[in-house]
Structure 1
Amino acid sequence: MPATCPRCKRNVVASRPTCLYCGAPLVEKTAAGAPDNEVKRRMQKASTDPADLVAQGNAEMRAGRTESALLIYRQVLSIRPDHAPALSNTAAAFLRMGRHEESVVCATEALLANPGLAPAFANLALAWLGLGKSEAALEAWMRAQELDPRLGAPPLVALSKAFAETNAIHRAAIAALAAAKPVRARSLFMELVSRKLARAAERSDAGKRLEAIAGELARWDAAAWLSQARLMRKDGQAELAVGCFDEVLRLEPDQPEALMEKGQAAFQLGETALAANGGARDASTERWLGQALECLRKVVKRNPNDAGAWKLLGMSAFMMGRGLEAEEAMARARSLGAPGQATLSVQITGVAEGAEGGRAWLATATELAQRGETEEANRAYAKALELDPTIVEAWLERGVGLAMLGLGEDALGCFDRAVVLAPQNKRVHDYRGVCLTRLGRAEEALESFDRALELTPGDGSVIKHKGGALRALERWEEAASLFRRALQANPELTECHALLADAQEMMGQGEQAVISFERFLERSGNTISPQVTEAKQRLAALRAQKPAGAAEGARAQSKLAEAEALKAQGKLEAALHCLDEAARLDPAGPEAPFHQGNILLQLGRIAEAGQSFQEAVRRNPRLAAAWCYLGHCQMLAGQPDGALRCLDRAVALDPRDAEAWINRSNALCELGRVVEGLESAD
């Protein structure tokens, strides 16, 4: 049952340490079947780290001890009331106990803490389904699937399928009306009504059966699914076998036997569909052969000497009309074949050479890139360039693919070659500049962007990218000016509002930054992305930064003085508490977080110290000492690139700061720039 708030008398979820409405401490109620004293004793001795506690709670859930798990999650929430995973897992525990309303509340609170937590959406969907609210359940489930397509919940999958079928019938009925077929339309509408009336009964009966089946299958491991898949193949049920192989790969994504055998089964299905269709490819053929290609590419990547996999890959590619890929795979298979082995029966003919072949490989690479197969696309671009090294588009796109794979220097080589081939092409200079910026060579990037803007002076994307290079160099005013220019050139460049807000905040223009963040979020709509989440957090922080009034300012100064006295006495934890209060009283002043950072650094809590110094420079971007210590923290954390940027900022603000120059010297030496490091030390 819910706990009752002693102050406002409202019912709230018992897992919360405080009331959701008024903040008062809650009266703990012991549920029936609660853990015994031994469990509580073990919890008291357990770690107080939220992550460790959540892991313990999850273990209790897996063991079927839901009440014990719930007690552990409550302990996490007593430490961190906004701990999203603990709130989501509490919702899951309530689901298992049939307490759906409380599950809805917990899942919702988890999403308020972390809007991108897919399991919380899934738990919310199951809770709504338990309360009979199918539409709300479906909406939450769709959001969960968008965030993590690997999530599975049979009742929700069945619900999605039922809604999809109903929508298809509705569309067909509308189409029948538009085509002046009233009898057909009436029949479809009648079926639609009957489905909606029967949905509750279907859910209660079929849903229970699905849950029973899911409970059984949830206990299967990858080996069990693999055995079942092989039995299916032996019985000639290749399609069911593919489904079982999918379960193996869900549990172990790179299981080599499952990849190879799924590829074989999918190839068999594709070959059968092709024959049944008189040799013409249709959706079914492309579906199965596409799955075969996906699996077999992974097999040969894992084991490049598997002749059988190369052969099957070549045959699948040939049937899909991918002659170039088929030729390469067949050649690899022939070269790996054992001496005396029979030659492959499939021969590929008509494959173009030279420039024509290069263009054909470019088309294949583009198709692979559009499907998200970056590594395969890069191989195809390389083949295109091998046949015709003058294709500028191939150099550019291969560079983009290499950058996506984290191979920045290799990508830069591609862009350099593209510049030589097409010096009048704006894109080659733009791409090169973006690559240099990401490699930390922003000064060089500016030259590329300037060249691109000479060719197309009003290109908003290039202007934005140049602003990004200036931002990396912390030349905030120039960056802000370019972001405004980019928006004038192309108002659809929504990201520029966030980049402008970042520059304005770093220049201490809090009010303007608020406006820019609001514009960014308004134009982003319902988009879910890390950038949107960060913008919301920073906007909330900026709105909370109201200058302290006279009374609050005096109390803040008093707390700062008290913290200094406690620090002098060696009472560092007490000093931190005083500084927390000072930061709360004066949310715009940098002194409290700066002193917090110094104490945390003294305690060896490097990550927390870095966060405090980051907050200090956010509140006052011209505080040179905070930039210096932030750089020192990043050096201790093994991030010399970030440290150098902070220390460059520190010496620019205060050229007489000897400590900043020495720390900068250490960062340069760590990066291998020893001569510059010695100059900095001098």
Structure 2
Amino acid sequence: MWKLIVQFFRMLFKKKEDDPDQIKEEVWTTDLSHPGKGRFIPEESTKYRGFYTKQGFTLELYHEHTLTWIEDPLYRYQDLFIQLDVHFSTPTAYYAGGLQFHRVDDSSYYSLLVSNRGYFRLDLLFNGRTMPLIGWTEIPRSQEKEASGKTREQFQSEKTRQENPSVPPVSLSVPITAVQIGLIVSGERMCILINNRWAAEIQDATIPEGRLALLGVLYEKPKETHQSASLLFRHLHVDSRPLNVEAYYIRWTSFIPISPSARYNLAETFFVMNQPHAALVQLKRLWKERPGPRTASELLLAGRSALLLGLHQEAEEYFDHCIEVDSQAEESRAALAEKAKILYLQDRYGELIELTREALGFFPQDPVLHTLQAHGAFQLGLYEEALSSYQEAFQKDNDNGLLAQNIGSTFEKLGNPEEALRWYCKAGKLFLNQEQYHDLELLIPRLQELGSSSAEAHGIIGKYFFAVEEYPKAQHELERAHTLNAQEDAAVPYLLALISIQEGHRKKALSLLEEAIALDPAVATFHFRLAESRFILYGSTHDGKTLYHLEEALRLDPGNGWIHNLAAQIAMAKGDVTTAKIHLEKARELLGEEIPLIINQAELLYLQGEPAQALELVSRYEHDDTTGEAAHEKGTILYRLGRFEEADEAFQEALRKNPRSIEYQLSRAHLLIDMGLYGEADDILADAYETEGKEPYLSRILDLIGYVATKKGEFPRAEVAYRLAIEAAPEEVHLYQELAWLYLTMGRWQQARELIDKLKTLRNREDTELEAAITALEEQYLESTTEKVTCSVCQRLWRLPRQLPPVPPLKLVAQPPEDLPAGMCPSCGKIYCIQCAKEHLDAGGRFLCPTCQQHLKLIDDRLRYLLYEWSRQSEIAKNINF
């Protein structure tokens, strides 16, 4: 009874186990010095390592531009206040640390990052789609500074960086070593604190709750070692009680003074993120919170934001006030240009010209003011004046493709199409160099109309289509440029070569690459691609041209890791593991842990007789490799070792990661063929044949389909496959061999004979393998189509068709040569040549069998056929009875 009472009270007061999926309301403070104090689970891979130390939780980052996180799997949070100390232990690296919150899974979470160059950002990843909420923004400084502002051009140049978390911001001269990150999330409201100072606030309710994770990303490895960067996370404080979190939020957003520079920095960020309304809101809050006059940079940013919102009158007022602050300042120049844009947008061209003339008196070197003056003159039909202003602007900004395009348009208006085309081509080249493909797309109709017979114009159009991956259009335009003798532009044959390689016509690319080198021999990439193509095509490690172009590429660009990688591959093919190791180490030093380099490292280990280490290396990278390349290499090594079942598992893993890879499909098909599983191999090859982008692999796919069909006895299908393969790659000599063997198997002697003769025209005496193949085909052809007859004494051999045609009667009126048959013994059936038979004659000079002493006779049609053929060819036979 007493035991029952004790058990009852134990059950009554037993502590309930925590549900890891509950929304947790707690206060949790930890120094992250060991697993008992930190809930984050240590992890390790080829790209990162997370582990506990006495100082805190350390995250080592090995791979550039890879977002890495260590999750706390225990609780989910809704409202929360977080403080986290982050220490940057590798000052020569360029990296960032922070945290994920409201984490649902790998495809949905918020992330807050602070870089060791003094910037922070906030992003939302929802269902795998990244949405920047706050782009890279300078962290609040310990000493207040006045916002200096940036030019419009600086804003535009930063826009891509702000919208892309993988692109790091402008570096500070001295990296920071530690930072305290603070975050308040109260409902949809978020407030970011950096070093115990307000840094930003925003609202977003996309993900209402989730888990926490420590976060890191490496942008540039340490310059000395190129190894890893280390983050140390210390002192994590979490308060998820809703009332406390609300109090934190009110305190930081309503009672603690906010730095004006922090407000301005946030407004700048919103502006370059193309959120002018949010930028204007921050500026107005800044002016409300801070007494005193508005600065010129604040007014300029406010005017630009209002202009983007279409608030022209409000924007003009901001610009006027900005000019009043200091008419000689840089902000004043920018404000004049922005005001001129308003006049242009409102079709006030006369006022625009007057304003720009007045402004150029203060800022005569400003290309924007010259451009706006030209715009006004152009719209009023003052083309000569517009041309002068555009040219003046281009002299001061000669990398501006839009200015060159405007000059071309003005020349068109003035009736000078030749000069217009020249400037359009200049604009097109500038757009290409700066990857301004949208602007170039708008220019293309003018290039097509005015430059229909211009090699330069077709070349520019072709390069555009190549850049946007419209390869058929690119090929058409580049071939047109090539035909029109674009002899000064080496890029035309080079790009045509790359297109040929993509289409699987690498041999055709060789002459184009040689032409590109002849036009510009100082470009390392041209030599590299030619060496690579020759190596892939011929595999000859002693080919003089391959080695020459490889050496030239290394000489011209010794810092190119991919050239060193090719040098390593060629050295491995030669069996020179020492040279291969040197180049591969250099490639890894330049490129880092790229998967192709890891695969070549595994190849090197295999060549050194260390297959176990090779397998261990690729297995280490297999998990993190999303392309399947590491698994494919693992399968290749296992295949060479004869471990077919394990190789098949590895190839299947590679295909799971990249099911549309034809290279992986062909590797598994080869394996299944060697395992005798022709049906499965046939299915994989059928899938490969239906895969988009199969053209470079088409001849290989059809070759294997023909082989499998032959093994399955499906000879007509095999014939079709081989014929299509030859049509796809007529330069592949081995395909003619395969089809010739198939015809011999099918008994189609005439087609086999034609292919053997074709091979003889394609052979190179130095190609011993092809010579041996032709000899084997000839022998099989003779064995299949002829019958052997031999002399019983000297073993002289005669060949004659297996199906003899009718032999007409004949009479020999001359002595046949001694290498023809004398006859057959009717008793023993032995056959003798004339040279051997003449040793045994009767008294009348007739041939006798040396064994039976019987007269030899021409009683065998085969012998009569041989004599008839001799007599017919000698033209001494007469048709008679005998």
Q: TM-score, normalised by structure 1?
A: 0.46
Q: TM-score, normalised by structure 2?
A: 0.37
- Which one has the largest radius of gyration? 2
Task: Choose between structure 1 and 2 for higher RCO, CA contacts under 8 A separated by at least 6 residues.
Answer: 2
Query: Greater share of strand residues, 1 or 2?
Result: 2
